[in-house]
Amino acid sequence: MVDGMLALHPGRSVSLLPRAGGHAWAGLLTDWQGTGDDHVLAHVQTDLAAIDALDHHQVWLSTVGKLDDEDGVTIFAGRALAQDDGSLLVDGVVRLVSERRRRAVRAAGAKVRLPDHHGQPGATLAATDVSRGGLRLAMNGTGWTYDEDVTVTVELPDAATVTATARLLREEDDGDVVLELDDLAEIDGAAIDRYALTQVEETGLTTD
């Protein structure tokens, strides 16, 4: 811990997602310094293209690992600055959210368009939560009638639209269904991440 905030150790793999748009960039944490007043400086080794793209931009820094002996994802927010040694400094790091048993942050509010089926137009349903890994649909009592993987269109409230292959994972007792998203392009996964993280910041939610 650094001044009460979870500390990361050098050698940790991280992902850097620019708030303004674009895909996520992979990096390796080389240093994590607490300077007091909950202020943290994170040094990240990444490639030159990432440094050029992220310099002077607000970013979300995420890492997947163990949270109290469970796999989970932790997201930090800060400002990226290029360094003379070819690394990237993420300044003003604050922990935004941690979620156990998940590899991506989720949020509600999306709409999902299903394909036509048995000669009937596909329905548009509310997703009670969505992440780059999958989504949960409120079926409104209609049940899941597709026999195989389907192509769905996810409409995010921030106007982004994502198309992916969805596979049924399970049907819940309340009638909702949980779908896994496959063949998701990285730029589309980043769009879902960006929407979910924006929702977390706006609601002030922090999950432990």
More confident residue, 15 or 66: 15
What pLDDT band is residue 201 in, cutting at 50, 70 and 90?
confident
Q: pLDDT tens for residues 27-79?
A: 999 998 877 666 788 999 999 999 999 999 999 998 876 555 555 677 888 99
Which pLDDT score is estimated for 68? 52
CB atoms within 10 A of CB 39: 16
pLDDT of 33:
86
> Per-residue confidence at 206, pLDDT binned at 50, 70, 90?
very low
74-131 pLDDT, tens digit per residue, is: 788 899 999 998 899 999 777 765 554 455 677 888 999 999 887 777 889 999 889 8
Backbone angles phi, psi at 117, to 5 degrees: -150, 125
pLDDT at 135 over 60: yes
What does the pLDDT look like over 137-195, one tens digit per residue? 988 777 788 888 999 999 988 778 999 999 999 988 888 999 999 888 888 988 988 88
Cβ proximity of 95 and 7 under 8 Å: no
Q: How far apart are CA 29 and CA 62, in angstroms?
A: 11
Residue 195 burial (CB < 10 Å; 0-12/13-18/19+)? buried
Q: Indicate the domain borders of the chain.
A: 13-100, 110-203
b/e per residue 52-65 (b: at least 16 CB within 10 A): ebbeeeebbbbbbe
On whether the CB atoms of residues 164 and 151 are closer than 8 A, the answer is yes
- The reported pLDDT for the residue numbered 6 is 63
pLDDT at 99: 57
CATH class for domain 110-203?
A: mainly beta
What pLDDT shows up at residue 1? 43
More confident residue, 171 or 200: 171
